[in-house]
């Protein structure tokens, strides 16, 4: 059995200043902050629909959002505005490196297909660490906290719920994962995340009668 560790992106692996992103997009489009929100972010046929897989490809997403905004924002500029609002958290990345020693890792972030297809460009600090596991919720056709997205995650990775650990900063997303039997941790700080990862792995090692790699593990002891 290989354990699966799933992690949210914003406010877990990365600091995310959404107001900074909106300011950048306002400059690109000439649209004020509130109008950007009304045309896309809080519109029923906007970002939340995209996060749930409303547009299956990045090209379809860009066409939809540019139509809604009435401005042709190039994909590279869209990504630059997003990346400019993000800052990596090294201690969390170290915890995820530890999780990868104990199993497989994947990302689960509420985002549409365009961001999903370009996560490797947005998160270069962890792109190699996650590999093919860089995924947005649009890939699964549902968004957090809908239990459907977590059921799709289990199906995609062919895992039983008890083999999966999930970390997110939002209580409702943690509850959504827990509702399908996944071990869910609400992120508050890197040490707490690291402890939760170790505890999850240790519990499974006890069940299987094997070592999980605790404080005596040379790699674990270094961090």
pLDDT at 220 over 50: no
Give the tens place of pLDDT for each residue, 49-74.
Answer: 999 999 999 999 999 999 999 999 99
Report, at the CATH architecture level, how domain 3-14+88-222 is classified.
3-Layer(aba) Sandwich (3.40)
For 69, the token pair is 């905004």
For 128, the token pair is 């190699």
> Do 16-83 and 3-14+88-222 have the same topology in CATH?
no
Report CA-CA distances (Å) from 56 to 43, 51, 114, 136, 140: 18, 10, 9, 11, 10
> What number of residues does the chain have?
223
Q: pTM value?
A: 0.91
What are the extents of the domains in the chain? Answer: 3-14+88-222, 16-83
- CB contact at 8 A, 128 and 138: no
Q: What is the mean pLDDT of the chain?
A: 93
Give the tens place of pLDDT for each residue, 146-189.
Answer: 999 999 999 999 999 999 999 999 999 999 999 999 999 999 99
CATH number for the domain whose boundaries are 16-83:
1.10.150
pLDDT at 210 over 90: no
Beta-carbon count within 10 A of 35 CB: 14
């Amino acid at each position: 059995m290989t354990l699966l560790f799933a992690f949210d992106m914003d406010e877990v692996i990365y600091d995310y200043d959404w107001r900074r992103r909106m300011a950048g997009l306002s400059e690109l489009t000439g649209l004020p902050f509130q109008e950007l929100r009304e045309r896309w972010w809080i519109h029923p046929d906007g970002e939340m629909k995209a996060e749930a897989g409303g547009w299956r490809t990045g090209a379809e997403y860009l066409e939809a959002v540019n139509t809604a905004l009435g401005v042709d924002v190039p994909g590279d500029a869209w990504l630059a505005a997003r990346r400019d609002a993000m800052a990596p958290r090294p201690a969390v990345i170290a915890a995820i490196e530890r999780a990868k020693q104990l199993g497989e890792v994947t990302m689960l972030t509420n985002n549409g297909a365009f961001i999903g297809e370009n996560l490797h460009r947005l998160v270069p600090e962890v792109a190699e660490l996650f590999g093919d596991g860089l995924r947005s919720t649009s890939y699964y056709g549902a968004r957090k906290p809908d239990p459907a997205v977590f059921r799709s995650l289990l199906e995609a990775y062919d895992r039983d719920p008890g083999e999966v650990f999930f970390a997110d900063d939002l209580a409702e997303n943690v509850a959504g994962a827990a509702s399908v039997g996944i071990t869910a941790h609400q992120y508050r700080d890197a040490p707490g995340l690291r402890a939760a990862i170790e505890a999850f792995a240790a519990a499974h090692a006890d069940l299987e009668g094997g070592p999980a790699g605790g404080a005596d593990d040379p790699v674990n002891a270094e961090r």
